[in-house]
């Protein structure tokens, strides 16, 4: 449930505008709700600042639609990752504000505006082929209320492309870097910019890349301090972590 709605509800009880019994009726589905095939976590926004996110792979279109309905019923914004166009059509039929982000393979439903902190997150991709994973990270950070600046196709094969963007990257609070092949780009960025770097290995590459394992191992063995690594193609996880870091800056009052 949206924390704002809970505060409003408690305020109404305190001012005797509604009874305790009525408030209990509204709160009875907290902290979770079982809907047969799934258990919707309705306290996620209270604990982590953003509601439950739907990972669409492995779920039927009907199941995704039902989960989305329960999340959106609380007034929260919705993010559904790894979503197909079929999933989008299902959600668009339920929520007119649904938007399909084809490159990120995700659907968002923005039911309320999120206050954005003054700082921003940079999302970098080594090649154009890495952009879908980078976009998943960027979109995740944006729907969570962050400003995002994108720097795509600036990999080590043409290092001058990256070097020309270092002043801009240095102004970000945290940087997400998606790269396939040998996965060298996060180490380069981490060695040039004094910001936390979240490295995302992608499954892009020829046979010896082993579907992203080569990039993953390269990033895990980075000699650049301040580089952390998420799983292969996990743009969502990187974007979420970057959003939490940026939120900490905002809470501390740092610019």
Domain map of the chain by residue range? 28-109, 120-252
For 135-164, the pLDDT digits (tens) are: 999 999 999 989 999 999 999 989 989 999
Predicted confidence band at 12 (pLDDT cuts at 50, 70, 90)?
A: confident
Q: What percent of the chain has pLDDT over 70?
A: 84
Predicted confidence band at 167 (pLDDT cuts at 50, 70, 90)?
A: very high
pLDDT mean across residues, the chain:
87
Cβ count within 10 A of residue 38: 17
Encode 6-59 in three state secondary structure. HHHHHHHHHCCCCCHHHHHHHHCCCCEEECCCCEEECCHHHHHCCCCCEECCCC
One CATH from 3.40.50.1970, 3.40.50.10470, 3.40.640.10, 3.40.50.300 for 120-252 = 3.40.50.1970
pTM score, two decimals? Answer: 0.82
Q: Which residues contact 137 (CB under 8 A, 6 or more apart)?
A: 123, 176, 178, 200, 235, 236, 238, 239, 242
Q: Which residues contact 205 (CB under 8 A, 6 or more apart)?
A: 180, 181, 182, 211, 212, 214, 215
* Per-residue pLDDT at 7 exceeds 90: no
* Per-residue pLDDT at 255 exceeds 60: no
Surface-to-core class of residue 5, CB atoms within 10 Å of its CB (0-12 exposed, 13-18 middle, 19+ buried):
middle
Of 22 and 156, more confident: 156
The pLDDT of 218-228, averaged and rounded, is 94
* Per-residue pLDDT at 94 exceeds 70: yes
The pLDDT of 125-135, averaged and rounded, is 96
**Encoding tokens for residue 186?**
């996060």
Show the CA angle centred on residue 31, arms to residues 27 and 33, nearest 5°.
Answer: 90
* Per-residue pLDDT at 10 exceeds 90: no
For 57-76, the pLDDT digits (tens) are: 999 999 999 889 888 877 88
The pLDDT of 188-201, averaged and rounded, is 96
* Per-residue pLDDT at 1 exceeds 60: no
| Strand partners of residue 124 | 151, 177
Predicted confidence band at 30 (pLDDT cuts at 50, 70, 90)?
A: low
What does the pLDDT read at residue 176?
98
């Amino acid at each position: 449930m949206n924390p704002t709605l809970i505060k409003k509800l408690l305020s109404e009880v305190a001012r005797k505008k509604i009874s305790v019994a009525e408030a209990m009726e509204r709160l009875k589905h907290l902290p979770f709700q079982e809907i047969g095939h799934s258990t919707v976590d309705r306290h996620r926004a209270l604990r982590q600042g953003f509601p439950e996110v739907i990972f669409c792979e492995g779920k039927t279109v009907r199941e995704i639609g039902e989960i989305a309905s329960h999340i959106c019923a609380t007034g929260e914004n919705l993010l559904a990752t790894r979503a197909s166009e079929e999933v989008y059509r299902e959600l668009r039929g339920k929520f007119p504000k649904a938007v399909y982000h084809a490159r990120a393979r995700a659907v968002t439903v923005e039911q309320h505006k999120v206050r954005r902190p003054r700082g921003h997150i940079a999302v970098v991709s080594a090649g154009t082929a890495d952009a879908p994973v980078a976009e998943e990270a960027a979109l995740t950070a944006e729907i969570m209320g962050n400003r995002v600046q994108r720097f795509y196709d600036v990999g080590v094969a043409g290092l001058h492309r990256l070097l020309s963007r270092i002043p801009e990257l240095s102004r970000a609070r945290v940087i997400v870097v998606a790269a396939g092949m040998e996965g060298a780009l996060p180490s380069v960025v981490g060695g040039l910019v004094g910001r936390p770097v979240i490295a995302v290995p992608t499954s892009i590459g020829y046979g010896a890349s082993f579907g992203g394992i080569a990039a993953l191992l390269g990033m895990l063995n980075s000699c650049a301090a301040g580089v952390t690594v998420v799983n292969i193609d996990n743009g969502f996880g990187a974007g979420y972590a970057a959003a939490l870091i940026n939120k900490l800056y905002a809470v501390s009052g740092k610019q």
